[in-house]
Amino acid sequence: MKYGLIGEHLGHSFSKQIQTRIAEIENVKDYDYQLVELDKEEFKEFMEKKDFKGINVTIPYKKDVIPYLDEMDESAKAIGAVNTIINVDGKLKGYNTDFGGFLYMVKAHNVHMEGKKVLIIGNGGACAAVKAVCKHENAKDIVIVSRSANRGAIGYDEMYTSHLDADIVVNTSPVGMFPNIVNAPIDVSWFHKLECVLDVVYTQILTRLCFEAQEADIKRVIGLEMLIAQAKYTFEIFENMSFDDSIIDEIKKEMLKDRCNIVLIGMPSAGKTTIGKMLEEKLGKEFFDLDDMIIAKAGKSIPEIFQESGETGFRAIETEVAIEASKMNNKIIATGGGVVKHKVNMDFLRLNGITIFIDRDIDKLISSDPNRPLSSSKQALQQMYKERYPLYQKYAAYIAVNNANIEETVDDIVNTYHSILKHRLMLCICRCFSYAYSYLYTAVQPAYSIALNASARSSMISSIFSVPIERRIVFGLI
């Protein structure tokens, strides 16, 4: 093997994808990079054979490799963990590029640690590199928190009783990593001075921890940039070359584009399924219908679910399916009209996706579809529209009006999607235009938005949507 990554479980690793892409961009030919899963016995044999030119090392072997090394660079010595090894004529030298990767992440997002209290969650190999960066950046206090209060770490109880004045939290634990995306390692609402959350977990566009920070208007940064940056620095060691850090941002944008879902919300018969299938063709993202997933999970039709279990039974299945859908990547997901009724659904769907509200005039919505038990009459549809419209508005990252030419609506969504990517706003997926939209309805049009048809609403906000996206950022509308 020429190059590769060794670890115990590598099923969700992005390392091969990133290393291969760097080689393509830098025009390095015949660059072979493999993922090698090793148990404890296999690890020992692998290291003794030394049958590689260079390797990356991940959990749980970042410290276990040290006895096999002939030499370590200064950063690896200081940190006490190794994630990169090169083989030069049978002599193994270890490096730690996690330090540089995390430092890049800190600098790229203007996180200022000097004089601050930093909590580091987790006490494994990644913790050591993060702690070294915090010291490098002159943090005033560095507190390590772990389930086991040992090896210089405190427990969670002590954290909650003595360190709620932390300025910065860094998660180096695996809590929140795919597929166990439900949990966050801490509750950010307890921390009254918290100004930034950094999470080295990179398997989602937003981890639960970063999402909760975002909801509280706290700066949050996911671990994807750290992963790409350390991979770039590793590549330079492997190939004995150097190139500009701009490649990190280039690959990050590509990966976000390739992994981000588009979640379509809106009233029944607003056109979500049709638009979703058209977006599938244009963007190359596979289309999923949440209602179809519910039917498959329940083994019965939606009317049958309502008849046997009522709306509450249906909503329970809907939430279970929404959580599963939030684990998907690079999909178009059309939701049922009532998915917005439960915040938990939207919280999970927004972890990995941009939410688009398909807005359609009420007189164009169908009220006689037997597969939609809650909109079986015009009166029921009107009441539903009144109740749900503010929720669609609240959760929308963008509002696409679908009254006339559906091709234009689809093109509008595609253009918006690419604009968000272009201007590095992918991670601001819970807000975008909804702030401006809400302001117009509450401050400019007290008569309430339901009284307007979608065309009037579209005209009403055109002055904001016509503002270049860069200026909307300045105004705080995104």
Q: Among residues 40, 62, 140, 282, which one is catalytic?
A: 62
Start-to-end Cα distance in the chain:
47
Is 62 among the catalytic positions?
yes
Which distant-in-sequence residues (6+ apart) come within 8 Å of 304 by Cβ?
298
- The strand pairing partners of 253, in sequence order, are none
Q: Quick one: 406 exposed, middle or buried, by C-beta within 10 A (0-12, 13-18, 19+)?
A: middle
By three-state DSSP, how is residue 82 classified? coil
- The C-alpha atoms of residue 430 and residue 217 are separated, in whole angstroms, by 11
> CB of 131 within 8 A of CB of 139?
no
Which distant-in-sequence residues (6+ apart) come within 8 Å of 333 by Cβ?
261, 262, 263, 264, 276, 288, 289, 290, 325, 349, 353
> CB of 179 within 8 A of CB of 154?
no
- The C-alpha atoms of residue 17 and residue 236 are separated, in whole angstroms, by 16
Relative to beta strand 141-145, strand 54-57 is: unpaired
Q: What is the DSSP string of 1-53?
A: --EEEEES--TT--HHHHHHHHHHHTT-TT--EEEEE--HHHHHHHHHHT--S
- Other beta carbons less than 10 A from residue 285's beta carbon: 22
Instruction: Please give the positions annotated as active site.
Output: 62
